[in-house]
């Protein structure tokens, strides 16, 4: 059964999509069966995985609104070894159409549970706002990975996100918890970075990933080529960091006894 992880932050530009794409590729390279769920109408995770968001016949919109089976909508992320549940601008309409549907906040969970035995990890790229799409992502998830920059305002936004996660856990998804906090665009030369990191370790003991994602030009360039960073420049600091993160996530799962069942499947690597 797959471990379902939502990558979330109500603040935009913190590296959520970059994390989804590169973590998916890194886990796949470690022989894990991975599904990346693009829940953002911008479709950046879809395009960054080498899938033309306007060229797909069906998208996650069809899964949420028309109950199209995930197995018939998911497509391969090029040669990166994982699959993508694509998104495009059509997803914007889903939020309105879901308002009149019963159990609307559970549509994504119902769809993913049907195919959960086929994967080891499902990564959900949540949009940078608290709306019906994000709620679907949080209700569907087993846990949340919070991607954030080590900045003052990011720390303020973290408190609001934690409250949101707790609210969802209390009302719609009792098992929801914070899987880990990932520090992105990390610059150790900045004193504020060190201060914020110290506060994170103090208030979220055991939840802050040891791996940090550095500011790296290759991570920024890779999406324009439609590939994860490890297939654009595998020796870049960004690509190595996400491989380290994947290893840390797998080790944590082993220690916590939450290793996805079903075993790994062979994947193609560059």
- Does some domain include residue 156? yes
- Does some domain include residue 120? yes
- Domain span at residue 52? 3-256
- Does some domain include residue 197? yes
pLDDT in tens, 159-188: 889 999 999 999 999 999 999 999 999 988
* Tokens representing residue 194 in the block: 């060190």
Backbone angles phi, psi at 79, to 5 degrees: -105, 20
- The confidence score (pLDDT) of residue 190 equals 86
- Does some domain include residue 168? yes
Burial zone of 72 (CB within 10 Å; 0-12 exposed, 13-18 middle, 19+ buried): exposed
pLDDT in tens, 242-251: 999 999 999 9
- Spatial CA neighbour of 148 closest among 26, 9, 4, 243: 9
pLDDT in tens, 8-22: 998 888 899 999 999
pLDDT of 268 higher than 60? no
DSSP state of 142: S
- Residues 21-26: what's their mean pLDDT? 98
What does the alpha-carbon distance between residue 12 and residue 129 come to, in Å, rounded to a whole number? 8
- The confidence score (pLDDT) of residue 261 equals 65
Q: How many domains does the chain have?
A: 1
- Spatial CA neighbour of 29 closest among 249, 204, 246, 195: 246
- Does some domain include residue 247? yes
| pTM as predicted | 0.93
- Does some domain include residue 266? no
- The confidence score (pLDDT) of residue 264 equals 39
- The confidence score (pLDDT) of residue 257 equals 84
Please give the distance of CA 173 from its chain centroid, rounded to a whole number. Answer: 18
- Does some domain include residue 96? yes
- Spatial CA neighbour of 11 closest among 228, 188, 198, 185: 185
Collect all residues with Cβ–Cβ distance below 8 Å to 28 and sequence separation of at least 6: 34, 80, 81, 82, 267, 269
Percent of the chain with pLDDT over 90: 80
pLDDT of 269 higher than 60? no
- Does some domain include residue 270? no
Backbone angles phi, psi at 74, to 5 degrees: -60, 145
Beta strands in the chain (DSSP E): 3-8, 34-38, 75-76, 83-85, 121-125, 143-149, 177-186, 208-214
Residue 114 maps to which CATH number?
A: 3.40.50.300
Backbone angles phi, psi at 183, to 5 degrees: -85, 120
């Amino acid at each position: 059964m797959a471990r379902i992880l939502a990558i979330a932050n109500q603040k935009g530009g913190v590296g959520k999509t970059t994390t989804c794409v590169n973590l998916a590729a890194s886990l796949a390279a470690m022989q894990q069966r991975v599904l990346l769920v693009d829940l953002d109408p911008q479709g950046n995770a879809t395009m960054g995985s080498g899938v033309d968001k306007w060229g797909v016949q069906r998208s996650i919109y069809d899964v949420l609104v028309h109950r199209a089976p995930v197995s018939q909508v998911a497509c391969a992320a090029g040669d990166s070894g994982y699959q993508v549940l694509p998104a495009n601008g059509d997803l914007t309409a889903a939020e309105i159409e879901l308002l009149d549907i019963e159990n609307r906040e559970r549509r994504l969970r119902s769809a993913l549970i049907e195919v959960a035995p086929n994967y080891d990890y499902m990564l959900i790229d949540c949009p940078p706002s608290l709306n019906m799409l994000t709620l679907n992502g949080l209700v569907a998830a087993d846990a949340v990975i919070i991607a954030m920059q080590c900045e003052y305002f990011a720390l303020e936004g973290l408190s609001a996100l934690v409250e949101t996660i707790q609210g969802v856990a209390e009302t719609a998804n009792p098992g929801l918890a914070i899987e880990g906090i990932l520090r992105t665009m990390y610059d150790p030369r900045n004193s504020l970075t060190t201060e914020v990191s110290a506060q994170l370790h103090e208030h979220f003991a055991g939840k802050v990933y040891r791996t940090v994602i550095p500011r790296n030009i290759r991570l920024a360039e890779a999406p324009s080529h439609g590939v994860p960073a490890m297939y654009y420049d595998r020796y870049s600091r960004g690509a190595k960091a996400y491989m380290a993160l994947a290893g840390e996530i797998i080790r944590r799962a082993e220690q916590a006894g939450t290793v996805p069942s079903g075993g790994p499947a062979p994947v193609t690597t560059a």
